[in-house]
Amino acid sequence: MGLGHRASFALVSPVVEAIGLEKTYRRRRGDDVRALRGLELTVGEPGAVHGFLGPNGSGKTTAIRCLLGLIRPTSGQVRVFGVDVTERFHEVAHRVGAIVESPKMFPNFTGRKNLALLAQIYKLPSTEVDRVLEIVKLDGRDRDTFGSYSLGMRQRLAIAGALLKDPELLILDEPANGLDPAGIAEMRDLIRSVAAQGTTILVSSHQLSEIEQVCTEATIIYNGLVVESGSLADIRARHGAVDVIVGIEHPEQAVHVLSAAGISASVRPPSSGGATPGASGGLPLITVDVAPTDAARVTRVLADNDLYLSELRVEASTLEDAFFRLTAPPSPTAVDRVEVAA
Ligand SMILES: Nc1ncnc2c1ncn2[C@@H]1O[C@H](COP(=O)(O)OP(=O)(O)OP(=O)(O)O)[C@@H](O)[C@H]1O
Ligand SMILES: [Mg+2]
């Protein structure tokens, strides 16, 4: 299936679209769980890798289950390729590959046999098994039993299974879960190579750093609601704040005088990487919440109080910092930071 064919669908409707999605799990004890509270999600561009991000319990798996027609939303709409999947997922099932939570495979069968069974179910030629084994780079281990696979290999086999249908949309729920750094890097390579073929990918994670490098766009959710969404470049521009880092002998005193001057500052924990001996010669560091253009004001306030810094540098805070700020439960310090940055 060519990219041109795939692209033509996007002109008609977004690949994935959730509007006002609500899901309340009714429990017998009566304490209902509002897992989704009006979630909006749009995955537009074919070949996009859309990161679906949020901390544990924020509603990612619930939303993905709704997208796959596995559960019925309490209210709202969810469409895949323009089709209302709550009622008619079967109409798009052949265009969507997915892994939700731990993939089910037969442990005593080889990887190849497991895929061959799936191919049979989908009525696909067995040559498709070789195709997907090659994509996920398991072609050397396909005769080993699934039970003998490492976690990373199991994840890759599951993805191979999801790729059998040559789907236009691949939905991966936490594919990096439990993988070591090398496994996560392999997963990213795999996502990149699948997306490069024109497949749109929706990939969830509770850790931004795991998938940040492969996403072209992202939706960040917290507590069943979207807190940020857009292209990665836009999210970075909105949240990739800069911090001014100051190396100074009396950090607590410096924080105190800066705060008195209305400048938010905090002592940097020694573990945060910034405390490694640099030009500051190993002096303690403080992080100051000001625009880089205001750095001179920091110097002046400190000097006015007989505090002299030995190093001042501007450091871009990572998107991960923004992710934590957006998805952290409200605390007095978090609120302070947002107010100062606003
Ligand atoms: N079947 C269910 N019955 C009742 N509550 C549920 C059910 N499934 C999920 N929940 C609740 O809904 C909320 C969202 O859960 P969900 O699994 O969608 O979150 P998640 O973002 O996928 O989390 P994780 O990162 O841990 O996978 C949680 O409070 C969870 O306890
Ligand atoms: Mg989940």
Give the predicted TM-score (pTM) of the model.
Answer: 0.77
CA of 174 to the centre of ligand 1 (A): 13
- If one compares 245 and 79, the residue with the highest pLDDT of the two is 79
- Residues with a beta carbon under 5 angstroms from ion ligand 2: 60-61
CATH code for the part of the protein at 242-316: 3.30.70
Give tens-digit pLDDT for 51-96. Answer: 999 999 999 999 999 999 999 999 999 999 999 999 999 999 999 9
Question: Mutation test of ligand 1: which of 27, 28, 33 has the most ligand atoms closer than 8 Å to its C-beta?
Answer: 33
Fold match flag (3-231 vs 242-316): no
Q: What Rg value do the Cα atoms of the chain yield, rounded?
A: 24
Q: Judge whether 208 and 323 are in contact, CB under 8 Å.
A: yes
pLDDT range class, residue 241, cuts 50, 70, 90: low
Question: Mutation test of ligand 1: which of 28, 58, 177, 219 has the most ligand atoms closer than 8 Å to its C-beta?
Answer: 58
- CA–CA separation, 255 and 253 (whole Å): 5
The residues spanned by each domain of the chain are 3-231, 242-316
Give tens-digit pLDDT for 98-140. Answer: 999 767 899 999 999 999 999 999 999 999 999 999 999 998 9
CATH code for the part of the protein at 3-231: 3.40.50.300
Is residue 10 predicted with pLDDT exceeding 50? no
Cα 134 to chain centroid distance, Å, stands at 26
pLDDT range class, residue 269, cuts 50, 70, 90: confident
- If one compares 85 and 27, the residue with the highest pLDDT of the two is 85
- If one compares 2 and 140, the residue with the highest pLDDT of the two is 140
Tokens coding 318:
């990572």
pLDDT at 341: 32
Q: Residue 291: left if φ>0, alpha if ψ -120 to 50, beta else—which one? A: beta
Pocket of ligand 1 (CB under 6 A): 25, 27, 33, 35, 54, 56-62, 206
Q: How many residues does the chain have?
A: 342
Q: Which ligand is nearest to the CA of 35?
A: 1
CA of 278 to the centre of ligand 1 (A): 45
CA of 249 to the centre of ligand 1 (A): 47
Q: Which ligand is nearest to the CA of 32?
A: 1
